[in-house]
């Protein structure tokens, strides 16, 4: 995971002021607690909504979510400076877990799909790409939309003789990990030269810190290609690539194809939930899917805060899942949700 260049002082200051005591109308002391979570920008809207809804049910509790990125959140939680919860779109590397000052449990929250967006003129609104060809584009080997390999997969599309303008995210992003994990599985060359990481050393392309900024640039750039969480690009009006899955079918990301992927992998999901869902089997599976996780510190010194976190997690994996589904998120398969609830119940 990438180390943070930003000072941790603002977060530290927030943590120092976490528990507030106020006087109620009757003049009695009433303790209010603020839980602080750091994490990925990808699920930030959902996590913020969860915090708001939980506060309505438990006015004495507040949750503040700071979207610092997957890599930075993992660094802070493992060092003990990350608040009460962390979050990210990648499992924390095993080496980092073993060397950490604090033990962390990783719990999946919802499913996310990484869509590949593009901007081409004319009737090129349903482009098909294979994983290896997508890897070659991001390696800088395939540079034109009229490339013979692209034309072979799209015989009914009039492809423009136009350069491919590659766009990608900056270091420390969970979408980087999911996308590079997939490309590493389908391209040995990509695995050797770039590999799966939240901070890929992309050979080509322009980098963007925020998903909306990247997609706005793609919308203004003929020939652009970019990857982002499906929900982030729903209002962008950009076309979405159909990607060939492990069964040989060309599939677009959708709620069904994302859920089908998790169901196809259900039997391989272990109790530590450190599983890759990319390039899953199944005719209907979309190949670039992942969990997004909470990083939960184990055995914190403050038992009161530990209890508060556990109660919040029980709510997340109960009514919180219904809220996520109502907001259009793809929730955990029933068997996985059962395992997660058991893991939360065992936390102390």
Write down the pLDDT at residue 3.
38
Mean per-residue pLDDT of the chain: 88
Edge to edge, the sheet with strand 242-244 lists 128-129, 242-244, 250-251
pLDDT tens digits, 198-254: 999 999 999 999 999 999 999 999 999 999 999 888 888 899 999 999 999 999 999
Write down the pLDDT at residue 103.
85
Residue 28: DSSP 8-state: -
pLDDT band at 279 (very low <50, low <70, confident <90, very high): very high
Beta-carbon contacts of residue 10 (< 8 Å; ≥ 6 apart): none
What share of the chain has pLDDT > 70, as a percent?
90
Write down the pLDDT at residue 28.
34
Q: What is the mean pLDDT of residues 270-284?
A: 93
CA distances from 213 to 44, 111, 170, 233, 339 (A): 16, 23, 12, 11, 37
The Cα–Cα gap between 165 and 289 comes to 24
Q: What is the mean pLDDT of residues 153-165?
A: 95
pLDDT tens digits, 12-37: 444 444 433 333 333 333 468 999 99
Beta strand pairing call for 224-229 and 165-169: parallel
The Cα–Cα gap between 135 and 180 comes to 9
Write down the pLDDT at residue 8.
41
pLDDT tens digits, 84-131: 999 999 899 888 888 887 789 999 999 999 999 999 998 788 899 999
Q: Is-contact 85 102, C-beta < 8 A?
A: no
Residue 266: DSSP 8-state: G
pLDDT band at 41 (very low <50, low <70, confident <90, very high): confident
Write down the pLDDT at residue 304.
87
């Amino acid at each position: 995971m990438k180390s943070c260049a930003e000072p941790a002082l603002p977060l530290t200051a927030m943590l120092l002021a976490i528990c507030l005591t106020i006087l109620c109308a009757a003049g009695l002391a009433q303790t209010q607690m603020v839980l602080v979570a750091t994490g990925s920008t990808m699920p930030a809207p959902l996590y913020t909504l969860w915090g708001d809804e939980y506060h309505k049910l438990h006015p004495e509790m507040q949750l503040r979510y700071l979207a610092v990125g997957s890599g930075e959140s993992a660094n802070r939680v493992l060092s003990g400076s990350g608040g009460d919860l962390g979050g990210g779109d990648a499992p924390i590397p095993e080496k980092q877990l073993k060397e950490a000052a604090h033990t962390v449990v990783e719990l999946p929250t919802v499913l996310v799909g990484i869509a590949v967006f593009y901007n081409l003129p004319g009737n090129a609104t349903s482009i098909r790409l294979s994983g290896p060809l997508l890897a070659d584009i991001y390696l800088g080997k395939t540079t034109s939309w009229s490339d013979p390999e692209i034309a072979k997969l799209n015989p009914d599309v009039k492809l423009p003789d136009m350069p491919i303008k590659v766009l990608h995210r900056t270091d420390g992003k969970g979408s980087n990990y999911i996308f590079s994990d997939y490309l590493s599985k389908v391209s040995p060359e990509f695995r050797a030269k770039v590999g799966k990481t939240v901070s890929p050393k992309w050979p080509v392309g322009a980098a963007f810190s925020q998903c909306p900024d990247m997609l706005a640039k793609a919308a203004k750039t003929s020939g652009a290609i970019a990857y982002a969480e499906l929900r982030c690009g729903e209002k962008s009006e950009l076309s979405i690539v159909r990607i060939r899955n492990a069964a040989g079918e060309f599939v677009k990301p959708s709620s069904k194809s994302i859920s089908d992927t998790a169901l196809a992998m259900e039997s391989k999901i272990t109790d530590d939930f450190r599983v890759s869902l990319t390039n899953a089997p199944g005719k209907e599976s979309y190949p670039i899917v992942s969990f997004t996780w909470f990083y939960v510190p184990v055995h914190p010194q403050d038992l009161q805060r530990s209890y508060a976190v556990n109660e919040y997690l029980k709510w997340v994996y109960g009514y919180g899942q219904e809220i996520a589904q109502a907001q259009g998120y793809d929730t955990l398969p029933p068997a996985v949700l059962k395992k997660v609830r058991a893991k939360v119940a065992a936390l102390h």
